[in-house]
Chains A and B, each alone.
Chain A
Amino acid sequence: MTDPRASSRSPMAALVLGWLLPGAGHAYAGQRGKAVLFASLIIGLLVAGFALGGGTNILPNEWWYAPQLGAGGPTAALTPLSQYLAIRSPIDWASPLREIGTLYTAIAGLLNLLVMMDAYVTVAYPEEREDRAAHRAHRSDGKEGA
């Protein structure tokens, strides 16, 4: 449930915090459970993709870096390490594991954009958001019963 004090909070702060650390926007909005869920899933996906790609797939000179930047803080933290590993060992561009790892990291960034927008909406329009969530839950209950 949304914290009743959320109305005194800034939606932009939720957006920026969510970009710096996945889930932090929801923690700011008072939704700690969701904050932990989003942080563990998005950072986990990013790190898993980084590991699958041999640590050489978060590079600013690749187009994939644009979606990866959606997970701002963790991506920024992994970038120097990826650059270091890319210089140290040759990159196997044709490796399927590297491709899958890069996809993981890019999807992690894109998912964080979605999470950031949800944090923004949660702080900016708390009542409308809760109404919509309750309506969706009711609708899915109806489907289950049908």
Chain B
Amino acid sequence: MLDALERFFSRLVSLDNPLWFYYPLLAVIAVVYKATKLDRPGDIARASLHFFVSVTLGILVLGLAFYLVSILF
């Protein structure tokens, strides 16, 4: 199990992981979406950061769950 987790996280941070291309995309989506909802720059920045971190962590947890299921079953 620890080996699998190590493989997962080493793949996650490797430079050839195409996921790196999704972070700027997600950042733009977060800022544009929140800027249509809020007016003050401080509110937009805070809400965008919250959106970005929430979605990134959500995808990470989902990816890890799928990965563990794929190696266990």
List the interface of chain A (C-beta within 8 A of B).
1, 33-34, 37-38, 41-42, 44-45, 48, 52, 96, 100, 103-104, 107, 111, 114-115, 117-118, 130, 132-134, 136-137, 140, 144
Contact = CB atoms under 8 A, between A and B. Distances in A.
Q: Is the interface of B mostly helix, strand, loop or mixed?
A: helix
Chain A's interface: helix, strand, loop or mixed, by majority? helix
Interface of B: 18, 21-22, 24-25, 28-29, 31-33, 35-41, 43, 46-47, 50
Contacts, number: 56
A33 B41 contact: yes
Contacts of A137: 38-40, 43
A122 B36 CA distance: 10
